[in-house]
Amino acid sequence: MSSPIPVTILSGFLGAGKTTLLRHLLKAEHGLKIAVIENEFSDAGIDTQLLGDEPVQVMTLSNGCVCCSLHTDLTKALYLLLERLDSGEIAFDRLVIECTGLADPAPVAQTFFIDEELRERYILDGIITLVDAKHAEHHLTQTIAQAQIGFADRLLVSKRDLVDEPTFTALSERLTRINRRAPIRVVDHGKIDLAELLDVRGFNLNADLGGGVVCAR
């Protein structure tokens, strides 16, 4: 059997720039075959003209990446991608899942440990959380935003150009108080080195996915 497919979970509050990052990822000429599962609650779809309203719609893009629009259970979408991969309809060797802005990434991560077959075919590489520098102070009053940061293996700060240096420094310190193990990087309008997103190998099997999150003010 081939090696498990590495999975990256992309998290972050509404407007933090997840879809902008995914657009960049899907259009870049990086030579990788990346499948992206985008859910219907996204603030702006990757390409609503191409992807219709079927429960799961899959399209291979010009650079070999695969875009999957999800209007159903995540587990079903994961199996559908595997079926099409095994039948030769599509080809991909990495998977990125975009969570909704109001979603806790922990249940998504748990999907890859609960189901035995999925556990054999996919391996969770890491959870990447985008943080909107301009609106972070407001977002962080929400428990779910703190959870998204708390479970992250890497934190990407967007809209850095919209805040001054003291504000950015204070935000970075606060993020570190919530999650000391996640490196903080700046993403510029969706552009960032792919090495910051893929093969982070940050996920800890012993991490407490059901545990509480530090609330740092």
Higher pLDDT, 59 or 48: 59
- Work out the pLDDT band at 71, boundaries 50, 70, 90: low
All domains in the chain, ordered by first residue = 5-196 (3.40.50.300)
How does residue 8 score in pLDDT terms, banded at 50, 70 and 90?
very high
Tokens at 39, concatenated: 């859910």
The larger pLDDT score, comparing residue 186 to residue 1, is at 186
Say yes or no to pLDDT of 41 above 80: no
Mean pLDDT for the stretch of residues 204-211: 45
Phi first, then psi: give them for residue 105, nearest 5 degrees: -70, -15
Q: What is the pLDDT of residue 70?
A: 62
Query: Is the confidence at residue 210, as pLDDT, over 50?
Result: no
Contact criterion met (CB below 8 Å) for 151 and 109 = yes
pLDDT band at 74 (very low <50, low <70, confident <90, very high): confident
**Cβ pair 99, 16 in contact under 8 A:** no
Q: For residue range 112-169, what is the model confidence (pLDDT) as tens digits?
A: 999 899 999 999 999 999 999 999 999 999 999 999 999 999 999 999 999 999 999 9
Q: What is the mean pLDDT of residues 173-188?
A: 96
User: How many residues in the chain?
Assistant: 217
- Any residues with CB less than 8 A from the CB of 108 and at least 6 apart, and which? 9, 74, 97, 99
Note the pLDDT of residue 62. Answer: 78
